[in-house]
Structure 1
Amino acid sequence: MHERISDAEHAVMEVLWEESPLTAAQVVERVAPRREWSANTVKTLLGRLLSKNIIAHEAEGRRYLYRPQVAREEYVAGESRKLMDRLFGGRLTPLVAHLAERDALSDQDIAEIEALLKDLKQ
């Protein structure tokens, strides 16, 4: 399994999952305005992600191109599993019940869950 990434690192990953490979300058262009971060902050985050082997880079002339090593779906699946394990004993039903009890499920959410369950039964 992959090493955990911070919320700040996740912002950089979202950019790279959207489009890659990107240069550091291109990542800065996409992340910095959303977060009001300096170019140095974004470059530090790229360095951390490299050291965790979450992203890779390859030289192109005098600059590097960065790309994800971990697919977004794989990361989300791992984080979802950790959340369920940590808070709900690894079970999905208590998680859904918790959301329903807190009115966190919209009518559309409920309809989508019903459709998913119907598909799973077939």
Structure 2
Amino acid sequence: MAENAKPERISEAEHAVMEVLWQDSPLTAQDVAERVDPDRAWTAATVKTLLGRLLTKRAVAHEVDGRRYLYRPAVAREEYVAGESRRLIDRLFGGKLTPLVAHLAERDEISAADIAEIEALLKALKQ
């Protein structure tokens, strides 16, 4: 499903549309509008605008189905998350993960459950 070309960075609003499409696709613009978080109170026109931007950025693709367009992600969620995570770590922490974890720990933003999960992950990675 994912294409080789990487899309441009997407906005927070565009990301909300992508989350809907990653959960289920292909969908029409109306389908997306009905599934996006209702607190956003977006109209179908707003969703169509966002889909248009995502098409331009090559984050979604579409196909014609009669008189409507069906939209689908052009990039897998895992690929997007990996790219965004790498950009965050590169930009804010010099490409190193340890300063990010230290930053969170210094602000008490890592729970005991988080620490247990990290320890389990590290143990698995060592094996």
Give the TM interval when normalised to the shorter protein: over 0.9
For 1:78, the equivalent position in structure 2 comes to: 83
For 1:26, the equivalent position in structure 2 comes to: 31
What's the RMSD between the two structures over aligned residues?
1.0
Q: Structure 2, unaligned stretches of length 5 or more? A: 1-5
Find the aligned partners of 1:40 and 1:64 in 2 and give their Cα distance: 14
For 1:7, the equivalent position in structure 2 comes to: 12
Matched ranges for 1:1-122 at <5 A: 1-31=6-36, 33-122=38-127
TM-score with structure 2 setting the length:
0.93
Which has a greater percent of helix? Answer: 1
Give the residue type in structure 1 aligned to 2:30: A
Following TM superposition, the consecutive aligned residue runs of length 4 or more in structure 1 with deviations greater than 2 angstroms are none
Q: How far is the alpha carbon of 1:34 from its aligned partner?
A: 3.4
Give the residue type in structure 2 aligned to 1:22: L
Q: How far is the alpha carbon of 1:32 from its aligned partner?
A: 6.0
Number of aligned positions between the proteins: 122
Q: Structure 1, unaligned stretches of length 5 or more? A: none
Give the residue type in structure 1 aligned to 2:80: Y
User: Greater CA deviation, 42-51 or 1-10?
Assistant: 1-10
Find the aligned partners of 2:92 and 2:41 in 1 and give their Cα distance: 33
Give the residue type in structure 2 aligned to 1:10: H
Find the aligned partners of 1:34 and 1:51 in 2 and give their Cα distance: 26
Q: Point out which structure has higher relative CO (alpha carbons under 8 A, 6+ apart).
A: 2
